[in-house]
Amino acid sequence: MAVKPVVSEYRSSESMYSLASFVNFINANFVVFFLAILFFLGGFYAGSLWSENRFLKAGGFPTAGTGAAGAGAGAGAAAAPEGPTPETLKKAPKVTNEDRVRGNKNAEITLIEYSDFECPFCAQFHPTMQQVMKEYGDKVRWVYRHFPLSFHPNAQKAAEAAECVAKQKGNDGFWAYGDKMFEENNKLGGRITPETITSAAQAVGVNMDTFQKCLDSGEMAAKVKAQMDGGTAAGINGTPGTIILVGDQAELIPGALPFDQVKVALDKYVK
Protein backbone atom coordinates (compact mmCIF):
# COMPACT_ATOMS: atom_id res chain seq x y z
CA MET A 1 0.00 0.00 0.00
CA ALA A 2 1.32 3.42 -1.00
CA VAL A 3 2.52 5.71 1.76
CA LYS A 4 0.56 9.02 1.88
CA PRO A 5 2.92 11.98 1.67
CA VAL A 6 2.74 14.52 4.43
CA VAL A 7 4.95 17.24 2.94
CA SER A 8 2.07 19.53 1.92
CA GLU A 9 0.60 19.44 5.41
CA TYR A 10 3.99 20.24 6.92
CA ARG A 11 4.45 23.22 4.64
CA SER A 12 0.97 24.43 5.44
CA SER A 13 1.65 24.20 9.17
CA GLU A 14 5.00 25.95 8.69
CA SER A 15 3.32 28.76 6.71
CA MET A 16 0.66 29.28 9.37
CA TYR A 17 3.31 29.26 12.08
CA SER A 18 5.44 31.82 10.22
CA LEU A 19 2.49 34.10 9.57
CA ALA A 20 1.40 33.98 13.20
CA SER A 21 4.94 34.71 14.33
CA PHE A 22 5.17 37.65 11.97
CA VAL A 23 1.84 39.11 13.21
CA ASN A 24 2.92 38.67 16.82
CA PHE A 25 6.23 40.34 16.04
CA ILE A 26 4.45 43.34 14.44
CA ASN A 27 2.06 43.65 17.39
CA ALA A 28 4.90 43.51 19.88
CA ASN A 29 6.87 46.21 18.04
CA PHE A 30 4.02 48.41 16.78
CA VAL A 31 5.25 51.56 18.50
CA VAL A 32 8.74 51.14 17.04
CA PHE A 33 7.36 50.68 13.52
CA PHE A 34 4.97 53.64 13.93
CA LEU A 35 7.78 55.96 15.06
CA ALA A 36 9.99 54.78 12.20
CA ILE A 37 7.28 55.67 9.69
CA LEU A 38 6.83 59.11 11.27
CA PHE A 39 10.58 59.77 11.10
CA PHE A 40 10.63 58.67 7.46
CA LEU A 41 7.73 60.95 6.46
CA GLY A 42 9.15 63.85 8.44
CA GLY A 43 12.52 63.40 6.78
CA PHE A 44 10.94 63.26 3.32
CA TYR A 45 8.99 66.50 3.94
CA ALA A 46 12.03 68.31 5.35
CA GLY A 47 14.14 67.08 2.45
CA SER A 48 11.68 68.41 -0.10
CA LEU A 49 11.69 71.87 1.52
CA TRP A 50 15.48 71.78 1.75
CA SER A 51 15.73 70.97 -1.95
CA GLU A 52 13.46 73.84 -2.94
CA ASN A 53 15.43 76.19 -0.69
CA ARG A 54 18.73 75.03 -2.19
CA PHE A 55 17.50 75.79 -5.71
CA LEU A 56 16.35 79.28 -4.74
CA LYS A 57 19.61 80.13 -2.99
CA ALA A 58 21.44 78.99 -6.12
CA GLY A 59 19.46 81.50 -8.16
CA GLY A 60 17.20 78.92 -9.76
CA PHE A 61 13.86 77.28 -9.10
CA PRO A 62 12.42 73.89 -8.35
CA THR A 63 11.40 72.82 -11.82
CA ALA A 64 7.91 72.05 -13.04
CA GLY A 65 7.31 68.50 -14.13
CA THR A 66 5.18 67.29 -17.00
CA GLY A 67 1.63 66.20 -16.49
CA ALA A 68 -1.83 67.64 -15.94
CA ALA A 69 -0.65 70.37 -13.65
CA GLY A 70 2.36 71.59 -15.56
CA ALA A 71 4.87 71.46 -18.33
CA GLY A 72 8.60 71.90 -18.67
CA ALA A 73 11.74 70.03 -17.75
CA GLY A 74 11.83 67.17 -15.28
CA ALA A 75 11.27 67.94 -11.60
CA GLY A 76 14.41 68.70 -9.68
CA ALA A 77 16.52 70.13 -12.52
CA ALA A 78 18.03 73.51 -11.72
CA ALA A 79 17.63 76.52 -13.99
CA ALA A 80 20.73 77.76 -15.75
CA PRO A 81 22.64 80.15 -13.47
CA GLU A 82 22.13 83.09 -15.84
CA GLY A 83 18.41 82.39 -16.23
CA PRO A 84 16.34 83.26 -19.28
CA THR A 85 17.51 86.13 -21.47
CA PRO A 86 15.58 89.42 -21.68
CA GLU A 87 14.42 88.44 -25.16
CA THR A 88 13.01 85.19 -23.81
CA LEU A 89 11.33 86.96 -20.87
CA LYS A 90 9.60 89.33 -23.28
CA LYS A 91 7.80 86.33 -24.79
CA ALA A 92 5.44 86.40 -21.81
CA PRO A 93 1.91 87.06 -23.10
CA LYS A 94 0.85 90.70 -23.12
CA VAL A 95 -1.25 91.88 -20.18
CA THR A 96 -4.95 92.00 -21.05
CA ASN A 97 -8.26 92.57 -19.30
CA GLU A 98 -8.30 88.84 -18.58
CA ASP A 99 -5.32 89.20 -16.25
CA ARG A 100 -5.57 89.69 -12.48
CA VAL A 101 -3.92 93.04 -11.83
CA ARG A 102 -3.25 94.78 -8.53
CA GLY A 103 -2.33 98.47 -8.55
CA ASN A 104 -2.30 101.06 -11.33
CA LYS A 105 -3.30 99.28 -14.55
CA ASN A 106 -1.44 101.95 -16.57
CA ALA A 107 1.76 101.86 -14.52
CA GLU A 108 5.01 102.04 -16.46
CA ILE A 109 6.58 99.16 -14.52
CA THR A 110 4.87 95.76 -14.78
CA LEU A 111 5.63 92.85 -12.47
CA ILE A 112 4.30 89.55 -13.80
CA GLU A 113 4.50 86.96 -11.05
CA TYR A 114 4.16 83.29 -12.01
CA SER A 115 3.15 81.61 -8.79
CA ASP A 116 1.69 78.55 -7.07
CA PHE A 117 -0.66 78.72 -4.07
CA GLU A 118 0.91 75.58 -2.57
CA CYS A 119 4.51 76.70 -2.98
CA PRO A 120 6.08 77.60 0.40
CA PHE A 121 8.43 80.10 -1.22
CA CYS A 122 5.56 81.80 -3.06
CA ALA A 123 3.88 82.28 0.33
CA GLN A 124 7.16 83.66 1.66
CA PHE A 125 7.43 86.04 -1.31
CA HIS A 126 3.82 87.28 -1.16
CA PRO A 127 4.42 89.79 1.68
CA THR A 128 7.43 91.09 -0.26
CA MET A 129 5.20 91.86 -3.23
CA GLN A 130 2.65 93.48 -0.94
CA GLN A 131 5.46 95.66 0.41
CA VAL A 132 6.45 96.56 -3.16
CA MET A 133 2.92 97.82 -3.80
CA LYS A 134 3.00 99.97 -0.67
CA GLU A 135 6.46 101.35 -1.45
CA TYR A 136 5.98 102.10 -5.14
CA GLY A 137 2.24 102.78 -5.32
CA ASP A 138 1.03 103.87 -8.77
CA LYS A 139 4.47 103.36 -10.30
CA VAL A 140 3.99 99.59 -10.57
CA ARG A 141 1.32 97.07 -11.42
CA TRP A 142 1.37 93.51 -10.13
CA VAL A 143 0.05 90.81 -12.45
CA TYR A 144 -0.55 87.36 -10.97
CA ARG A 145 -0.42 84.35 -13.28
CA HIS A 146 -0.82 80.69 -12.40
CA PHE A 147 2.07 78.23 -12.48
CA PRO A 148 0.95 75.22 -10.38
CA LEU A 149 3.83 72.79 -10.01
CA SER A 150 3.00 69.15 -10.64
CA PHE A 151 4.55 67.93 -7.37
CA HIS A 152 2.18 70.14 -5.32
CA PRO A 153 -0.97 67.98 -5.22
CA ASN A 154 -3.47 70.76 -4.45
CA ALA A 155 -1.92 73.57 -6.50
CA GLN A 156 -3.86 72.98 -9.72
CA LYS A 157 -7.27 73.04 -8.02
CA ALA A 158 -6.24 76.02 -5.89
CA ALA A 159 -5.47 77.93 -9.09
CA GLU A 160 -8.76 76.92 -10.71
CA ALA A 161 -10.59 77.90 -7.52
CA ALA A 162 -9.08 81.39 -7.69
CA GLU A 163 -10.63 81.85 -11.13
CA CYS A 164 -13.96 80.45 -9.93
CA VAL A 165 -13.89 83.05 -7.14
CA ALA A 166 -13.08 85.78 -9.66
CA LYS A 167 -16.01 84.67 -11.81
CA GLN A 168 -18.29 85.70 -8.95
CA LYS A 169 -16.32 88.41 -7.16
CA GLY A 170 -14.14 89.89 -9.88
CA ASN A 171 -10.55 91.12 -9.60
CA ASP A 172 -10.87 92.21 -5.96
CA GLY A 173 -12.29 88.83 -4.98
CA PHE A 174 -9.41 87.08 -6.73
CA TRP A 175 -6.81 89.03 -4.75
CA ALA A 176 -8.67 88.56 -1.46
CA TYR A 177 -8.69 84.80 -2.11
CA GLY A 178 -4.97 84.85 -2.99
CA ASP A 179 -4.07 86.76 0.17
CA LYS A 180 -6.01 84.26 2.25
CA MET A 181 -4.45 81.24 0.53
CA PHE A 182 -0.89 82.42 1.14
CA GLU A 183 -1.73 83.33 4.72
CA GLU A 184 -2.97 79.79 5.28
CA ASN A 185 -0.01 78.33 3.38
CA ASN A 186 2.32 80.01 5.88
CA LYS A 187 0.27 78.76 8.83
CA LEU A 188 0.37 75.18 7.52
CA GLY A 189 4.14 75.22 7.05
CA GLY A 190 4.21 75.55 3.28
CA ARG A 191 1.28 73.33 2.38
CA ILE A 192 -2.44 73.64 1.69
CA THR A 193 -5.33 71.18 1.67
CA PRO A 194 -8.66 70.97 -0.19
CA GLU A 195 -10.24 72.38 2.98
CA THR A 196 -7.93 75.40 2.73
CA ILE A 197 -9.29 76.10 -0.75
CA THR A 198 -12.89 75.86 0.41
CA SER A 199 -12.39 78.03 3.49
CA ALA A 200 -10.56 80.72 1.49
CA ALA A 201 -13.44 80.88 -0.99
CA GLN A 202 -15.95 81.09 1.87
CA ALA A 203 -13.96 83.94 3.43
CA VAL A 204 -14.35 85.93 0.22
CA GLY A 205 -18.12 85.48 0.40
CA VAL A 206 -18.87 83.55 -2.78
CA ASN A 207 -21.98 81.45 -3.29
CA MET A 208 -20.50 78.09 -2.36
CA ASP A 209 -22.83 75.96 -4.49
CA THR A 210 -21.98 77.99 -7.59
CA PHE A 211 -18.30 77.96 -6.67
CA GLN A 212 -18.21 74.19 -6.15
CA LYS A 213 -19.93 73.53 -9.48
CA CYS A 214 -17.38 75.72 -11.22
CA LEU A 215 -14.48 73.99 -9.48
CA ASP A 216 -15.80 70.45 -10.03
CA SER A 217 -16.51 71.08 -13.71
CA GLY A 218 -12.90 71.98 -14.45
CA GLU A 219 -13.98 74.93 -16.57
CA MET A 220 -11.02 77.03 -15.40
CA ALA A 221 -8.38 74.38 -16.11
CA ALA A 222 -7.77 75.64 -19.65
CA LYS A 223 -7.10 79.19 -18.41
CA VAL A 224 -4.64 77.93 -15.80
CA LYS A 225 -2.85 75.81 -18.41
CA ALA A 226 -2.67 78.71 -20.87
CA GLN A 227 -1.04 80.92 -18.25
CA MET A 228 1.46 78.22 -17.37
CA ASP A 229 2.27 77.64 -21.04
CA GLY A 230 2.84 81.38 -21.45
CA GLY A 231 5.21 81.39 -18.50
CA THR A 232 7.11 78.41 -19.87
CA ALA A 233 7.51 80.19 -23.22
CA ALA A 234 9.00 83.14 -21.32
CA GLY A 235 11.60 80.90 -19.64
CA ILE A 236 9.84 80.41 -16.31
CA ASN A 237 10.42 76.91 -14.97
CA GLY A 238 9.55 77.26 -11.29
CA THR A 239 7.96 79.44 -8.66
CA PRO A 240 7.94 82.19 -7.72
CA GLY A 241 9.24 83.62 -10.99
CA THR A 242 8.59 87.34 -11.47
CA ILE A 243 9.30 89.25 -14.66
CA ILE A 244 9.95 93.00 -14.54
CA LEU A 245 8.83 94.64 -17.78
CA VAL A 246 9.57 98.30 -18.51
CA GLY A 247 9.22 99.40 -22.11
CA ASP A 248 11.51 97.17 -24.16
CA GLN A 249 13.45 96.01 -21.10
CA ALA A 250 12.90 92.78 -19.19
CA GLU A 251 14.49 91.31 -16.08
CA LEU A 252 13.79 88.28 -13.90
CA ILE A 253 13.39 88.28 -10.13
CA PRO A 254 14.43 84.65 -9.50
CA GLY A 255 12.70 83.03 -6.57
CA ALA A 256 11.67 84.45 -3.20
CA LEU A 257 14.14 87.31 -2.95
CA PRO A 258 13.80 89.64 0.07
CA PHE A 259 12.37 93.13 -0.41
CA ASP A 260 15.78 94.84 -0.26
CA GLN A 261 16.99 92.89 -3.29
CA VAL A 262 13.75 93.42 -5.20
CA LYS A 263 14.03 97.13 -4.45
CA VAL A 264 17.52 97.26 -5.98
CA ALA A 265 16.12 95.74 -9.17
CA LEU A 266 13.12 98.08 -9.33
CA ASP A 267 14.97 101.28 -8.51
CA LYS A 268 16.84 101.01 -11.80
CA TYR A 269 13.57 101.69 -13.61
CA VAL A 270 11.89 104.20 -11.32
CA LYS A 271 12.00 107.76 -12.60
Q: Where are the domains of the chain?
A: 75-267
Distances in whole angstroms, Cα of residue 42 to Cα of each of 30, 36, 45, 46: 18, 10, 5, 6
- Backbone φ and ψ for 178, nearest 5 degrees, come out as -60, -45
SS3 at position 49: helix
User: In this model, does residue 17 exceed pLDDT 70?
Assistant: no
Top-confidence residue, 75 or 259: 259
SS3 at position 17: helix
CB-based contacts of 81-84 (< 8 A; 24+ apart in sequence): 83/59, 83/235, 83/252, 83/254, 84/234, 84/235, 84/236, 84/252
Q: What is the C-alpha separation between 152 and 218, in angstroms, rounded?
A: 18
**Fold observed for domain 75-267:** Glutaredoxin (3.40.30)
User: In this model, does residue 183 exceed pLDDT 90?
Assistant: yes
pTM above 0.85, yes or no: no
30-57 helix and 7-28 helix, angle to the nearest 10 degrees: 70
The whole-number pLDDT of residue 271 equals: 82
Q: Which residue type occupies 86?
A: P
Chain segment 108-151, per-residue pLDDT in tens: 999 999 999 999 999 999 999 999 999 999 999 999 999 999 99
Band of pLDDT at residue 83, cut at 50, 70 and 90: confident
User: In this model, does residue 208 exceed pLDDT 50?
Assistant: yes
* The residue count for the chain: 271
Contact indicator for 133, 140 with CB cutoff of 8 Å: yes
Q: What is the C-alpha separation between 4 and 1, in angstroms, rounded?
A: 9
User: In this model, does residue 87 exceed pLDDT 70?
Assistant: yes
Chain segment 220-260, per-residue pLDDT in tens: 999 999 999 999 999 999 999 999 999 999 999 999 999 99
The whole-number pLDDT of residue 82 equals: 65
User: In this model, does residue 152 exceed pLDDT 90?
Assistant: yes
The whole-number pLDDT of residue 30 equals: 57
- Spell out where the chain has E strands: 100-103, 109-115, 140-146, 241-246, 249-254
Kindly give, in sequence order, each residue whose CB lies less than 8 Å from that of residue 203, ignoring residues fewer than 6 positions away.
176, 177, 180
Q: What is the C-alpha separation between 109 and 269, in angstroms, rounded?
A: 7
Q: What is the C-alpha separation between 269 and 271, in angstroms, rounded?
A: 6
The whole-number pLDDT of residue 80 equals: 38
Q: What is the mean pLDDT of residues 191-206?
A: 97
Asked whether the CA dihedral 86, 88, 89, 90 is positive or negative, the reply is positive
User: In this model, does residue 188 exceed pLDDT 50?
Assistant: yes
User: Could you tell me which residues are beta bridge partners of residue 145?
Assistant: 114
Between CA 224 and CA 152, with CA 204 as vertex, the angle to 5 degrees is 40
SS3 at position 163: helix
User: In this model, does residue 170 exceed pLDDT 60?
Assistant: yes
